[in-house]
Structure 1
């Protein structure tokens, strides 16, 4: 019986012998003791299996013996053999009759209600018959035995299902028609289900059968259309299974299915990218377009982006440079997808993406890119410039390219404006290139138009890019920015409104605070503008909120707080000419806040700015400190001075010789700030 799981065949059944012709002795090869397939006769009239007697002759030669008959030991004068055609035909007829009888008996046994042993015996005989004479597959096909074997896949027995899978494998090997019969109905869906639900050996048999079916181009689409088939097969190829055969068969199945472009795309969606990349490299122009278009829509992790850039980056750049418009669009969208990670962007830089990218962005004329694709080009350039990779960006700021960028920013829509501003953000973040950008902006007077983007409300990304750019420019263009903002209260108010938003601290808030912090601190006109829009009240509220833990945002908190403190400190430079500055500092007890900020350990800039602000406050103390009002002398004292005693005034400040307090006169002695200031010098 077919009782083992390792595929070994045994036959202890007797009912399969009923109706079967007995083997005649003439059919048996004396050497192999098996029924012959290709009988041949020697010169002495003895008949053997051709392969067996040829092996015997070889052994005689190797041992130095003369060729002889293995039965009679008679030496032979010739090694020539004659095919026994009549005997061969007789054997074939006998075998056909017996195989037909066995198949008929098997058909009677292949019902789910029969005993498991009978079913296993029937399956075994089908396999033996198919293996012995390949033409008997025709008999299996014609008897509709395939469908009966398929029914065995519904058995509750793991062993029966496993042997049915093995039998189907033998039946359909190299037989297109049998494969098509097997694929009818839900059989392929059942095989896919077995990939995840069967025990190990059943899973191996199922994937092996799918592999055989996938050799048929007609069936590849059917396998691919089954929900979950591709993701299960891809999963098997990437698993750590100890069963190497399963991995190899799953991989070969997918390889066979790569003939379909749609299946290749699905594989890529599940992480098997290489077939798509190979078609992009070697396919027809139509195939390259299809693959590149799909690549531009595909979700890729960072490792995948690097692999794609290394494998097809050059081909995509070539398509972008010389393809027709649909190819250029597909290439640009794919390059956009892979340019957003530092590792892949480095690869793109090394293969020369910058030159054609910039040409597409600035070129105006025949075959130039439409605006929607210029936006994609700008996005790719922004990704590359902002990755933090220290490549030679000089080519981006030479030959009036910054002026071209500024011109495009002024003459395009918000989407591309945003990306072009991000390019400038990247360039101004580099010490080697920021001077070129600053020079171009000063020459063109573009600062006025750039500042206007601060007021944009309908496009948050555009406004953020603008504020980040202005923040980068502010150390080198503080005067120009102050002049631009001083004349437009709306833009200054917009920056203050962004800073005071009641949200977790954002990148935009930190950049806006940093921008205002860099403006000239002694610009009285700007300080008055800020007083007019209530900036300082909002700033101090934010500082207090951060220190009390009410406002959080770990990523940007440090920079945001530093910017706020620097903005707040500028009010201490306006005491001489702006009474509102003194009133504000009194009302909000600014001196006390700066003393507390002296203790911001690890934040040197905040401590330095706080000390400077306290210096300014302290210089104003002498003007604010006053002597107390003394009571007038009594009547006698007013006539006879010798009869009056001078009033003794106590509680006066030893430094300012008047009545002092931290809140009202900003006295650092009263605020006990001196020791804290000295402590900043260290031990």
Structure 2
């Protein structure tokens, strides 16, 4: 009977009626129907789609972001987030110029609102804004939203250090702020990435890997992966240019031997990255090694949440994209106990992280050596994986690479 009543509440007729009442009622009644719609939407994808498809109703919801009644504004935002979270099209924004006003209002709420829950919801909605919209990117670039995200991460860092107390609302704000940060780290959005590089964001961001909730860790690792893959591409370009320039060095040495000697001595004193050398030295260039992120990422592989392990593996993989630095990158992962953590994922992880861990382990084996005890342990784990239908072929390839099974094995 209760189930039947819920189905009636979720009908197209009733959802449409509730939306009309939201638009036409006094503030107190408006809040009650917004709360009801949030509950119904959280339980039913069909209700979410009914709300999304009602353009007049969504236009009213977005106009409520400027409402001077805090409870109306809060619950309108919650409903917008509920119908947007996880939807392929993201937030069902109104057409311009209302669209621009909505994005500016959300950025302003995240930046200026004294209400933590309101800021958290605004960050969550920003994270669900349509991804491939250059107008939205430009509004966010010009806004103070990224600085607000930075402040949230730094404030949480103080909480971790015992300077402030942590609350559930603060945890939610951090998780949603990190979700919003992902837009700024997208490799396809270099102008937004440059803004991230200008802030002193990396140290507190990396500490989230050690101290945050599983969801915060997952989003942080994904952000680091995005930033790192962009660096790998730019470092690759820099390496090519350096090789081209090196062809002229012998001539320069002959012409200016004393100057060349002074320059080379000076450059030797620089604190060079063990993987990229000087290619990742510009301040706005993010490097996992330079930022001391490799070990926290490796430690994240032991998180019980498979999403954290997979995001951390994805970030570590970005170190192994440039052929010219593969051996140094593999060594950096090994030196930070990476093989031990990868084997733990292969032994005890769920299927999706296992597949990624196996790919990473194979690449490491191709470009560096591991100790005999680890070699023997990996052999045992890989032989167990031969019983896994999804992974047995890949496991067999790695065992062949290790000279454990012959090339003509039935596993191929």
Q: The TM-score by the shorter chain falls in which range? A: 0.5 to 0.7
Q: Tell me how far 1:551 sits from its aligned partner.
A: 6.6
Alignment coverage as a number of residue pairs: 285
Tell me, what secondary structure is at the counterpart of 1:479? coil
Q: Which runs of structure 2 are paired with 1:58-73 in the superposition (5 Å)?
A: none
Report if aligned partners of 1:611, 1:677 keep a CA contact under 8 Å in 2. Answer: yes
Q: Which residue of 1 aligns with 2:107?
A: 496
Q: Which runs of structure 2 are paired with 1:539-550 in the superposition (5 Å)?
A: 539-549=149-159
Q: Which residue of 2 aligns with 1:419?
A: 32
Give distance in 2, aligned partners of 1:672 and 1:565.
Answer: 19
Report if aligned partners of 1:474, 1:518 keep a CA contact under 8 Å in 2. Answer: yes
2:60 maps to which of 449, 452, 466? 449
Report if aligned partners of 1:591, 1:662 keep a CA contact under 8 Å in 2. Answer: no
1:407 maps to which of 17, 20, 24? 20
2:255 maps to which of 622, 628, 638? 638
1:292-326 C-alpha deviation (Å, 9 max, x unpaired):
xxxxxxxxxxxxxxxxxxxxxxxxxxxxxxxxxxx
Q: Which runs of structure 2 are paired with 1:256-295 in the superposition (5 Å)?
A: none
CA 1:466–1:404: 2 relative to 1, 3 Å: same
1:551-602 C-alpha deviation (Å, 9 max, x unpaired):
76624111111001111122010x54443x243122213333322221125x
Q: Which residue of 2 aligns with 1:620?
A: 230
Report if aligned partners of 2:185, 2:226 keep a CA contact under 8 Å in 1. Answer: yes
CA 1:485–1:455: 2 relative to 1, 3 Å: farther
Give distance in 2, aligned partners of 1:588 and 1:568.
Answer: 13
Give distance in 1, aligned partners of 2:123 and 2:252.
Answer: 63
Report if aligned partners of 1:514, 1:559 keep a CA contact under 8 Å in 2. Answer: no
Give distance in 2, aligned partners of 1:486 and 1:610.
Answer: 32
Give distance in 1, aligned partners of 2:106 and 2:48.
Answer: 21
Q: Which residue of 2 aligns with 1:566?
A: 179
Unaligned runs of 5+ in 2: 303-340, 342-412
CA 1:671–1:636: 2 relative to 1, 3 Å: closer
1:679 equivalent to 2:296? Answer no
1:440 maps to which of 45, 50, 63? 50
1:206-234 C-alpha deviation (Å, 9 max, x unpaired):
xxxxxxxxxxxxxxxxxxxxxxxxxxxxx
CA 1:526–1:676: 2 relative to 1, 3 Å: same
1:440-472 C-alpha deviation (Å, 9 max, x unpaired):
22332232222221111x211111110111121
Give distance in 1, aligned partners of 2:275 and 2:76.
Answer: 49
Q: Tell me how far 1:612 sits from its aligned partner.
A: 1.1
Give distance in 2, aligned partners of 1:610 and 1:662.
Answer: 22
Q: Which residue of 2 aligns with 1:396?
A: 9
Unaligned runs of 5+ in 1: 1-348, 351-389
Tell me, what secondary structure is at the counterpart of 1:484? coil
Report if aligned partners of 2:178, 2:220 keep a CA contact under 8 Å in 1. Answer: yes
Tell me, what secondary structure is at the counterpart of 1:500? helix
Report if aligned partners of 1:662, 1:671 keep a CA contact under 8 Å in 2. Answer: no
Tell me, what secondary structure is at the counterpart of 1:598? helix
Give distance in 2, aligned partners of 1:566 and 1:576.
Answer: 17
1:464 maps to which of 71, 74, 77? 74
Please identify runs of 4+ aligned residues in structure 1 that moved more than 4 A: 520-524, 550-553, 623-636, 644-649
1:670 equivalent to 2:317? Answer no
Tell me, what secondary structure is at the counterpart of 2:11? coil
Q: Which residue of 2 aligns with 1:479?
A: 89
Tell me, what secondary structure is at the counterpart of 1:597? helix
Give distance in 2, aligned partners of 1:522 and 1:512.
Answer: 19
1:517 equivalent to 2:134? Answer no
Q: Which runs of structure 2 are paired with 1:113-192 in the superposition (5 Å)?
A: none
1:13-49 C-alpha deviation (Å, 9 max, x unpaired):
xxxxxxxxxxxxxxxxxxxxxxxxxxxxxxxxxxxxx
Q: Which residue of 1 aligns with 2:219?
A: 609
1:534 equivalent to 2:140? Answer no
Higher RCO (C-alpha under 8 Å, 6+ residues apart): 2
Report if aligned partners of 2:197, 2:283 keep a CA contact under 8 Å in 1. Answer: yes
Q: Which runs of structure 2 are paired with 1:370-385 in the superposition (5 Å)?
A: none
Report if aligned partners of 1:569, 1:609 keep a CA contact under 8 Å in 2. Answer: yes
1:73-105 C-alpha deviation (Å, 9 max, x unpaired):
xxxxxxxxxxxxxxxxxxxxxxxxxxxxxxxxx
Q: Which residue of 2 aligns with 1:60?
A: none
Tell me, what secondary structure is at the counterpart of 1:481? coil
Give distance in 1, aligned partners of 2:113 and 2:79.
Answer: 23
1:368-414 C-alpha deviation (Å, 9 max, x unpaired):
xxxxxxxxxxxxxxxxxxxxxx9951121226111111223233443
